Structure 1
């Protein structure tokens, strides 16, 4: 592969990108009222409020139940009463109880005829709350639950509780909401103010999910690739290198997390002879694992039953099996390969950003580790007294 050909292609694409940026400025694509007012990531005041207003048959848009019908069509929800539907934002479901199984607020609450409910949990950048989806279900078991995020990320166990995946629907701003808003934009053709406001909101969503309109750039880059065989080869080489850079960055993050984890969560936590308990992580979850000499999968041994109980005392969401006294999913998953490319490249070039991300993961796990150590110390004192 000729390095000069690769450099030439990069130079040409950069030039096209600069032209696209100028076109965006000339066309006013950067002028967005939601961004100007600093509301672009506000879940309640912007996203839940705007989506809820469109879904409301008595909303000020004047199109009655048409937007709600298009929403249900997009998400393939059938037999919901659109004509008499009522929509509430931040619906109060009562005080949160001590076990986090009841209460809280429902982001978007839709009620049709008797027994028909749709509850939407709306996530932009906020993390999951404890048993949040489970509390929605406990408030109204008949409700259809929708977990909405920018990219369609599934809820963590921390939010879903004991709910099975088939008890809720995961959807995204990138796909389902964008598709729905496109339909709404076309439907509002005779309502120019409504149409253009939806257009502004679509533009905001596109920027949040990294799909900023760039028709000129797409067409020019395609023309550039088709014009010269060397450009096709260079693009293929760049795509290959892109994956290598991504893999190297993920490896670097995993290595640094492994090193940091070993320094913070070190030592054997088990007071019993012959057994060892360590605090460890695996992929997207962490917890307490045990071994006996060279033997693993001993966590169901009767001698370790008191420590399984201690792990449950730390947090009832810890699950046990032969390998783990207790494990649970991270809220902020260390599955670094799932990070957006832009984030990975920031991590590749910034020691500070990598350290910050790793420290967030460590801080999430640290309370469980500290609590278990205290419980084990109390257990040892009780045995000695």
Structure 2
């Protein structure tokens, strides 16, 4: 499968040495990553940041960390008088929730943080007007959009709200700098300083900043002409090698689904499995979704179908199609499915045209099973092992059979 991909001993040595150096001080031992909560926006990042910002937080440092954030990161003068209130998941009139809100006698700050979640329609627009309503014309309004790299919000989220009304911050630069200040102020409390340092290391890992294996490998290659040439040859082979792994996954998944449902899944987003896997690594994938689908049952003019979709990561679940075979939204049906099945764990689960959507079976899986073909996650690499690949596909198909059975039960009512 990967005959075109050849790693020389010299390149293997570079990677091995970089791995050792990157973990010289135990950087790979990160409690957040070990507990598999490193990408959880609400339960890890929002909670941890909220606890540090709270004047009455368990850190016992009063307003010290909050003041650092307001003054050094947002450029706001923290008043020495008046009460500061820091809250999480502040409900809006639109039944949305602002991740973190900081309120003082003269200022209200709303923070929306993003790790993996996508922007939602009019999200920042609604948040700004909720802050505006609460400010009552008597407080300064600051709306913060916090992402890994500090990117700008989408026009969809702004919904006409001026970009100048949103402060864009990054975990990579702004939060990391603030955390360093918190660590320096916590030296008299070693356990607290170490906890903040662990979170700072998590941010470094998520954003690929400083001292990572990639940095060290790049440094080695950039100073060695022959190894650099060898690496270029490997780079040329990687898209083809990745496509080979992905193609095998789709082929075996299709065979497994056909064996279970008695019908051959159709390919969408391209003419064939070979075509979608080749194009995935050679063409622009913006707004392009590919995968397999099987019709499950009908409700009037609508068909409920099982979809296995790929954009960055594999996700699967139930969607509704109209008579022309186009996926459409069905809010009423989605509400029924939510009551019967609960929510999925994929980002796409929040999109209108998915009834329910998963990365993995929550009963028997975790986020290490997310097959990301874009960054070729560890689960994607694991597909090279025949036994691992077949087990993962079998688990995925078993969950899909359960979803199909639940859909048929709904259709039969």
State the TM-score, normalizing by the size of structure 2: 0.51
For residues 99-130 of structure 1, what are the alpha-carbon distances to aligned partners after superposition, in whole Å with 9 as ceiling and x for unaligned? Answer: xxxx421110000123x111000111112223
What does residue 105 of structure 2 align with?
Answer: 113
* Counterpart residue number, 1:294: none
Q: 1:251 to 1:36 in 2, by over 3 A?
A: closer
Equivalents in 2 of 1:14, 1:82: separation in Å? 57
Which residue does the alignment assign to 1:63? 61
Paired with 1:259 and 1:33, the residues of 2 have a C-alpha distance of 35
CA deviation digits over 1:351-377, x for unaligned, max 9?
Answer: xxxxxxxxxxxxxxxxxxxxxxxxxxx
In structure 2, what is the equivalent of residue 144 of structure 1? 142
Q: Which residue of 2 aligns with 1:177?
A: 175
Matches within 5 A, 1:1-385: 11-23=9-21, 27-81=25-79, 84-94=83-93, 96=94, 103-114=95-106, 116-141=107-132, 142-211=140-209, 213-214=211-212, 222=219, 225-226=222-223, 252-253=283-284, 257=288, 344=374, 346=376
Task: Judging by fraction of residues, say which structure has more helix.
Answer: 1
RMSD (CA atoms): 4.1
Q: Would the aligned equivalents of 2:22 and 2:216 in 1 still touch at CA under 8 Å?
A: no
Change (3 A) 1:171 1:14: farther
Q: Distance in 2 between matches of 1:187 and 1:156?
A: 36
Number of residue pairs the alignment of both structures matches: 254
Going from structure 1 to structure 2, the CA distance change for 1:65 and 1:256 (only over 3 Å counts) comes to closer
From the CA coordinates, give the structure whose radius of gyration is larger. Answer: 1
| Whole-Å separation in 1 of the counterparts to 2:116 and 2:169 | 15
Aligned-residue offset at 1:197: 0.3
Compute the TM-score of the two structures, normalised by the length of structure 1: 0.54
List per-residue Cα deviations over 1:325-344 (Å, max 9, x = no partner). Answer: xxxxxx9xxxxxxxxxx965
Distance in 1 separating the partners of 2:146 and 2:160: 19
Can you give the 5+ residue segments of structure 1 that lack an aligned partner in the other structure? 1-6, 97-102, 261-330, 332-341, 351-385
Task: Report SS of the residue matched to 2:283.
Answer: helix
The unaligned stretches of length 5 or more in structure 2 are 1-5, 133-139, 241-278, 292-350, 352-371, 384-413
**Structure 2 Cα separation of the partners of residues 249 and 133 of structure 1:** 32
Shift of 1:164: 0.8
1:133 CA displacement: 1.1
Distance in 1, matches of 2:217 and 2:208, equals 19
- In structure 2, what is the Cα distance between the partners aligned to 1:149 and 1:13? 34
CA deviation map 1:273-314 (0-9, x unaligned): xxxxxxxxxxxxxxxxxxxxxxxxxxxxxxxxxxxxxxxxxx
Alpha carbons of structure 1 residues 25 and 57: separation in structure 2 relative to 1, 3 Å? same
3-state SS in 2 of match to 1:143: strand
